[in-house]
Amino acid sequence: MIAAENLVKEFKVYQRKAGLMGSLSTLFSREHRLVRAVSGVSFEIPSGAKAAYIGANGAGKSTTVKLLTGIMRPTSGRCYVNGLEPYRERRRNAANIGVVFGQRSQLWWDLPVLDSFRILRRIHEIPDAVYRRNMALYRKLLDLDALGNTPVRQLSLGQRMRAEVAASLLHDPKAVFLDEPTVGLDLVLKEAVRELINHVSSELGTTVMLTSHDMGDITAICDQVLVVNRGEVVHQSTMHDLLRTAESRAVIFEYRNGPPTEQAVALVQSRLDGASATVVDSVRIKVEYPAHRWSTREVMSLLIAHFDLIDCFAPEPDLEMVLRRIYTGRADGRRASA
């Protein structure tokens, strides 16, 4: 659905020299250096997948999204969205995609949100039934009516982002590109936006490509992960496989009877080499253990032998820690110390 083949985007950055004469000399000499924002990227996001595009600031995420949406043309390499090369067929591509740039508005600044929606309805020739269905959904999930007749420029960032996400999905695009879509939203609104994206993707099979610094967005929405660093894709896998590589596992145990919590902690640490335990409350402890050293089964066996267990569950592995390991290349996810 979305594919990149050796995609490269370079920018010419003109060196500015100090002072007026400096500025004038740059005007004439045009000395520049090249910044490689996207450096030979290849990947494929299958139809219906929800992929996270993750990387530090300046890693090249937004530039990749601009190439895929046809806003920019690549320096070399190719990319395709639903079989089209976006920068060659911008209009046809636009009919297939929705785009949100958290940092920049797609809406008409002086118009109320609902007027922007009416214009989009005409541009995309959205059938009545589709328009009505989607507006009803946005009313329910995003409280869209509350934005009413206020011009977009007077909306708060949170209100505007709600409108942006809705606008990007209005024409039932086959793929949607969301670049930092929850920037500036409070938790309740973030969840509403996540719910909307997941709903649309599961109902219509919409392919999603999401960049976000919000690990909550990524785990709530995405099933595929691409990690970019300095313009290169350094990791691609399913979210499931990525989280499975977490080196450290954690399980929380709740028990009816057993040794007092301090003793329980000591027991775990003495019997499971490399594991650590912490008291959650009077009937629960959290056990963390290195996955390469102990299997969950072994940990369970020890606990069952000493406790009258009534519940246990594994909290989600920490995505942030797993990602840090990819960046630093260290197994424990800690930064190499100086």
- The stretch near ligand ADP (CB under 6 A) out of 50-58, 94-102, 129-137, 292-300 is 50-58
Window 5 to 24, contacts with ligand ADP (CB under 6 A): 11, 13
- The stretch near Mg ion (CB under 5 A) out of 60-68, 285-293, 302-310, 312-320 is 60-68
Nearer to ligand ADP, 57 or 149 (CB): 57
Nearest to 312 by CA among 274, 265, 280: 280
Which class for 147: exposed (0-12), middle (13-18), buried (19 or more C-beta within 10 A)? buried
Distances (CA, A) of 304 to 59, 184, 226, 254, 291: 47, 46, 39, 11, 19
Residue 337 binds which of ligand ADP, Mg ion, none (CB < 5-8 A, kind-dependent):
none
Q: Where are the beta strands (DSSP E) in 32-184?
A: 32-45, 50-54, 76-81, 97-101, 175-179
What's the closest the beta carbon of residue 58 comes to ligand ADP, in angstroms?
4
End-to-end CA separation in angstroms for the chain: 43
Nearer to Mg ion, 61 or 171 (CB): 61
Which member of 50, 61, 171, 194 binds ligand ADP (CB under 6 A)? 61
Distances (CA, A) of 58 to 8, 63, 123, 130, 231: 15, 9, 33, 38, 8
Which member of 1, 4, 7, 37 binds ligand ADP (CB under 6 A)? 37
What's the closest the beta carbon of residue 57 comes to ligand ADP, in angstroms?
5
Q: Is 112 in the site for ligand ADP (CB under 6 A)?
A: no
The helix or strand, by DSSP H or E, that contains position 287, with its residue range, turns out to be strand 284-290
Q: Is 87 in the site for ligand ADP (CB under 6 A)?
A: no
Phi/psi for 237 (5° steps) reads: -165, 180
What's the closest the beta carbon of residue 266 comes to Mg ion, in angstroms?
48
Q: Is 62 in the site for Mg ion (CB under 5 A)?
A: yes
- The stretch near ligand ADP (CB under 6 A) out of 39-47, 55-63, 139-147, 285-293 is 55-63
Which member of 62, 69, 201, 207 binds ligand ADP (CB under 6 A)? 62
Residue 39 binds which of Mg ion, ligand ADP, none (CB < 5-8 A, kind-dependent):
none
Window 243 to 302, contacts with ligand ADP (CB under 6 A): none
Determine the residue type at 222: C
In sequence order, the 6+-apart residues with CB closer than 8 A to the CB of 318 are 246
Q: What is the 3-state secondary structure (H, E, C) of 162-221?
A: HHHHHHHHCCCCCEEEEECCCCCCCHHHHHHHHHHHHHHHHHHCCEEEEECCCHHHHHHH
Nearer to ligand ADP, 57 or 270 (CB): 57
User: CA-CA distance, 18 to 201, in Å (whole number)?
Assistant: 51
What's the closest the beta carbon of residue 228 comes to ligand ADP, in angstroms?
7
Q: Is 218 in the site for ligand ADP (CB under 6 A)?
A: no
Distances (CA, A) of 283 to 145, 226, 276, 278: 47, 40, 17, 12
Residue 69 binds which of Mg ion, ligand ADP, none (CB < 5-8 A, kind-dependent):
none
What is the CB neighbour count within 10 angstroms for residue 55? 23
Residue 227 binds which of Mg ion, ligand ADP, none (CB < 5-8 A, kind-dependent):
none
Nearer to ligand ADP, 63 or 248 (CB): 63
Determine the residue type at 320: E
Nearer to ligand ADP, 77 or 258 (CB): 77
What is the CB neighbour count within 10 angstroms for residue 146? 11
Q: Is 58 in the site for ligand ADP (CB under 6 A)?
A: yes
Binding positions for ligand ADP, rule: CB under 6 A? 11, 13, 35, 37, 55, 57-63
Binding positions for Mg ion, rule: CB under 5 A? 61-62
